Amino acid sequence: MKNIWFTIYSSPKHDNKYIGLNNYRTLLEFLLIPAIQDKINRNKKIQKIMFCLIPELEKDLIDNFKSNYSNKRIVNGGIINLEASSSEIDWNNLSVIEKKDFLIKKWKVLFDNLSEDYFITDKSEVLKSLDKLKNQEWRITNTLFKKKIKYNKETYNVVMDISTESAQLALVRDSDEKWITLKNYETWQIETDANFKNFKFEDDILTFVNKNLFSSMLESPVVFNLKEILK
């Protein structure tokens, strides 16, 4: 079954008010799937659950949200959307902990104001999962491919270490778990420039193949010379 897309957005005219939000949004999209998705009623045909941050709003538009989604059999267009106020905070001056608290608070507002028929568990279980997520480290380290790289009698895994600040593409050596950084990205780039489906390795040259056809056509290939990197 296709994953539900959990996301956060704002108007492009407010980009300067939410510097770095794209990184938090991207990481949360991955964290919310295991935390929340299996508690959602998929019979509602939900495809996307999101909230929009609007600095001009004095409060979240909860009444409007309830009228749109309360006890509806199937969500129109598969989208659940909350118009959320950010008037009480200055995102750019918040600490990492404050940003996490704020975003989880808005997710709790959204889920708390959905009627019970949107869940296959008690709604309180969803809110508990969000509290648990708020208090854990927001970091994911994934091995990107089953296939490993064999070079100079050593074997390496290709990994991506993702945090709210950056996404680091690296090799991890099997013999001693040494970490060799290949390239640092903005976290949001794991959905575009750093969204790799495979790699090619020939004559010391490691080349990554992008999943996104549009990106692969417009961007230069991501290439590394392991003879230089693994001296």
Whether residue 99 sits in one domain with residue 40: yes
pLDDT of residue 2: 86
Whether residue 58 sits in one domain with residue 110: yes
- Residue 3 is classified by DSSP as P
> Exposure pattern of 201-215 as b/e (b: 16+ CB <10 Å)?
beeeebebebebeee
Beta bridge partners of 8: 51
Whether residue 152 sits in one domain with residue 112: no
Whether residue 86 sits in one domain with residue 60: yes
Rounded percentage of the chain residues whose pLDDT exceeds 70? 95
Q: List, in sequence order, every beta strand (DSSP E) within 45-102.
A: 48-54, 79-85
- Specify the amino acid at residue 56: E
Containing structural domain, residue 125: 5-135
Rounded percentage of the chain residues whose pLDDT exceeds 90? 82
Whether residue 153 sits in one domain with residue 130: no
Q: What is the pLDDT of residues 140-172, one digit of tens each?
A: 999 999 999 999 999 999 999 999 999 999 999
- Phi/psi of residue 212, each to 5°? -80, 110
Mean of all residue pLDDT scores within the chain: 92
Whether residue 121 sits in one domain with residue 38: yes
Whether residue 34 sits in one domain with residue 97: yes
pLDDT of residue 104: 98
Total count of domains within the chain: 2
Q: What is the pLDDT of residues 5-21, one digit of tens each?
A: 999 999 999 999 999 99
Whether residue 218 sits in one domain with residue 111: no
Q: Which of 135, 156, 179 is the last residue of a domain?
A: 135
The structure's pTM equals: 0.89
Q: Is the pLDDT of residue 101 over 80?
A: yes
Q: What is the pLDDT of residues 171-208, one digit of tens each?
A: 999 999 999 999 999 999 999 889 998 999 999 999 99
pLDDT (mean) for 68-78: 77
Whether residue 79 sits in one domain with residue 20: yes
Burial degree of 177 (CB within 10 A; 0-12, 13-18, 19+): exposed
